[in-house]
Amino acid sequence: MTVELLSALATILLALSLAVERAVTIAKGLWPWLAIETVTSGGETDLVRDRWRRLAVQATAILCGWITAGFLVQPQRGDTPQLTWNLLGFVQVGSGSGAFTLPVLIVGVLASGGSALWSNVVGYTKAVKDAKNAEKASTNLSYITQAQAAGVAPPVKVSFDRRTLRALDEVKSTPPNAFASEA
């Protein structure tokens, strides 16, 4: 998977998960028991008794993600953009030859993960980009080495401290005119 496709997938999931979070917030407004955690006498979340509420929230998120992802299905025929909604369709990720499709349900389930999912996806994207940058830097270094080997590269420049730079400047200020020159 290329960086562009991974970025496209991250963008879709980011947008969808924001929509899902909004929908879940609305659902919690409609059914307040979804928003009220069951707590112990110590004020901490009661993980056993709160299990069904959390499952209901997750199911709501998946349902919202599925319904919302249905709007991302592209029309099968014609180039005219139009609003379509298909819960059993496919969502196209990316464009061009490397593009692929994912079932709407899968996209909905992925988006229901909320920030936990897309922050990971963003992390993976960044890691892939870093790897690409490292590869580019390595290629550039290889070109420089090849150019140096061919004798066509500019002088090698390294960062020096101020005192060394001053000494180099002094030496360079009077380049030798002849190989036998003493100065």
Partner 1 sequence: MQVSTLKATRDGGVITVGISLPTSPHSAAAVIWRFSADGKREAEVGELTSLVPPVPIGDAVTNNSKKFYVRGKVLNENDNPPVPFQLLVTVGQGGKALLIEAPTEKEDSRIGSKDVRFIYRFVVEVAS
* Residue closer to partner 1 (CB basis): 88 or 149: 149
Contact 93/99 with Cβ under 8 angstroms?
yes
Instruction: Please spell the DSSP secondary structure of 19-83, one letter per residue.
Output: HHHHHHHHHHHHSGGGT---B-TTSSB-TTTTHHHHHHHHHHHHHHHHHHHGGGPPPSS-SS---
Select 78 or 154, whichever has its Cβ closest to partner 1: 154
Tell me if 149 contacts partner 1 by CB under 8 A.
Answer: yes
Indicate the SS3 state at residue 12. Answer: helix
Q: How many CB atoms lie within 10 A of CB 64?
A: 22
Part in contact with partner 1 (CB under 8 A); list of ranges 44-52, 53-61, 99-107, 146-154: 146-154
Return the C-alpha torsion angle 14, 16, 21, 24, nearest 10: -160
168 binds partner 1 (CB under 8 A): yes
CB of 143 to partner 1, least distance (A): 13
162 binds partner 1 (CB under 8 A): no
Please report how close the Cβ of residue 179 comes to partner 1 at its closest, in angstroms: 4
Among 43, 88, 157, 162, binds partner 1 (CB under 8 A): 157
Q: Does 179 bind partner 1 (CB under 8 A)?
A: yes
CA 163 to chain centre: 44
Cα angle: 20, vertex 30, 15; to 5 degrees = 10
Given candidates 33, 82, 151, 162, which one binds partner 1 under the rule CB under 8 A? 151
For residue 19, what are its two tokens?
């929509």
Please state the closest distance from residue 133 (CB atom) to partner 1, in A.
24
Chosen residue from 2, 84, 140, 164 binding partner 1 by CB under 8 A: 164
| Contacting residues toward partner 1, per CB under 8 A | 145, 148-151, 155-158, 160, 163-164, 167-168, 170-172, 175-180, 182
